Amino acid sequence: MNVHQVYPEQYDAQLGTKQQRITTLFSDLLPNQCELEVFSSPTTHYRQRAEFKIWHENNTAHYAMYQRGEYKRPFIINDFPVASQVITETMPHLLEAINHNEVLKRKLFQVEFLSTLSGEVLITMIYHKPLDDQWQTQAELLQTHLRDTLCCSLKDTVKEVGKETAQNTAHHHVVTHLDIIGRSRKQKRCLGRDYVMETFSLNNGSFQYQQPEGAFTQPNANVCEHMLDWAVSASKAFSGDLLELYCGIGNFTLPLASNFRHVLATEISKTSVAAALENLKTNHVNNVKIVRMSSEEFSQAMDGVRQFRRLEGIDLNDYRFSTVFVDPPRAGLDDHTVSITQKFDRILYVSCNPETLKANLNTICQTHRIERFALFDQFPYTDHIECGVSLVKK
C-alpha cells in the first residue's frame, strides 16, 4: 500500500480479490462442503499500532514513512487514516509539542503508538542520544500536557451532546489513558505504565488484556475480536485438553480455555509470558499453565528427545490432549512441529502467511481433513491475509 493511498470505496473489491486468492490457493485441500468464512475490517481507523520515523527538516520534526526499498526518500505523514481514532487524535498534539521543545526534539528518530478500543494510548519516543533527567522532566510535562489537552475532548463532548451520548462516543474517539516511554540505546525510561489495557467483548464473555510495549499484539482489534470468536466457535464441541503453541500474551488462550478441561501453553518471550500470567489472573482463568519454551523445544519434550528444567513440576502424562492450537510466525511450522500436530485429533491453525500455511497443510491434510476455513482481513489495502483453519483427524 502506498502510505498515502487509502480508498474505502475500493475495499469490497480488494477483499474479493483476497477471497479469490485463498479459494484458488487451497482448492485442492478444501472439501466441497467447506465454505470460506470471510471477516472484513473497518475501512478506516482499524490499526491499534502505528510507528513513524521522525524526519527533521528546517528545524522541524515531521512524521514520516518509507516505501519498501526507498529508505532515503521519506513520505511526510500529515494524515494517517488507517490508525485508530485515538492515535490520529494524539498525533498532531504530540508533534506540535515536540516542535516547541528542543530537549524532546533533538535526536528523536522514531515514535511508536500502541492504542486500545477503550481509548488508551502508549507513546514510545526513541532517540539517538542518552536520556537524562532534563529529558525526563520535559517528557513528564509533555505527558501531563497531552493528558490535559486530549481529555478536554470528552468534556467538550459532554457540553455539546450530553453525558450519555458522550460516554457512547468515548469508546472510539476519546483518549482515556495516556503514558509515555523514552528509549535510547540500552535505556528505557517509563513515565507511567509500560503497557495498555485492552478489553475484547466476545460471544462467550468480556476479556481484559495487559498489552506490554514491545510484545506482539494483533494490530487490528476489531478483526481480532472476530478471530477470537471464530476460534471459540470452531472448538465449542471439542473436549479433553488443549496444547497451545506460540501463546503470546494469552490472546487466544483466555477465551479458548472455557472449551477445555486443561490448557498447557508455550511461549518463548519473557515479556509475553509475564503478561500472559497476569492476564490469566485478571480474568480468573484457572485451568491454564504456561511454560517458557519454543514450539520446537516443546515438540522435542513431547517426543522424549530432550528433557527441560522449564517443565519441572509438569507431567505431560497427566494431560489428555485432544487439540493443538498453533499461531506461528510468518515462517510457519517447522517439519518436526508439523509431525507433532498430526498426533492430535483436532488442530486449530491461525496463520499470517497463506504460502507457508499451504505448505504445512499439504502435509497435515495427509492425516487430517479441513472442517472450517476463515479469512480475516487484518490489513486492508495490502496483500496481507490472515487465515484460520480447523482440522479433524481422518
d(CA 172, CA 151): 13
Query: How far apart (Å, rounded) are the C-alpha atoms in residues 237 and 256?
Result: 12
Residue among 224, 247, 352, 387 flagged as catalytic: 352
Residue 386 annotated as catalytic: yes
Cβ pair 149, 92 in contact under 8 A? no
**C-alpha to C-alpha distance for 78 and 90, rounded to whole angstroms:** 13
* CA–CA dist 125, 176 (Å, integer): 20
d(CA 168, CA 162): 10
Those residues whose C-beta lies under 8 Å from the C-beta of residue 25, and which sit 6 or more positions away, are 354, 358
- Whether 282 contacts 208, CB under 8 Å: yes
Report the C-alpha gap between 304 and 329 in whole angstroms.
Answer: 25
153: left (phi over 0), alpha (psi -120 to 50) or beta: alpha
Q: C-alpha angle with apex 91: 85 to 97, nearest 5 degrees?
A: 145
CA-CA distance, 100 to 61, in Å (whole number)? 10
> Residue 385 and residue 383: Cα distance in Å, rounded?
6
Burial of 200 (C-beta count, 10 Å sphere; 0-12/13-18/19+): buried
3-state secondary structure of 302: helix
| DSSP 3-state of 245 | strand
Q: Residue 109: exposed, middle, or buried by beta-carbon count in 10 A (0-12, 13-18, 19+)?
A: middle
Task: Check the annotation: does 156 bind a ligand.
Answer: no
Whole-angstrom distance, CA of residue 371 vs CA of residue 132: 57
Q: Give Cβ neighbours of residue 385 (< 8 Å, ≥ 6 apart).
A: 18, 21, 22, 354, 375, 377
Q: Among 244, 297, 386, 387, which one carries the catalytic annotation?
A: 386
Q: Is 218 a known ligand-binding residue?
A: yes
Amino acid at 273: V
Catalytic-residue membership of 352: yes
246 is annotated as contributing to ligand binding: yes
Q: What is the DSSP string of 137-156?
A: HHHHHHHHHHHHHHHHHHHH
Is 251 labelled as part of a ligand binding site?
yes
List active site positions.
352, 386
Binding residues for S-adenosyl-L-methionine: 218, 246, 251, 267, 327
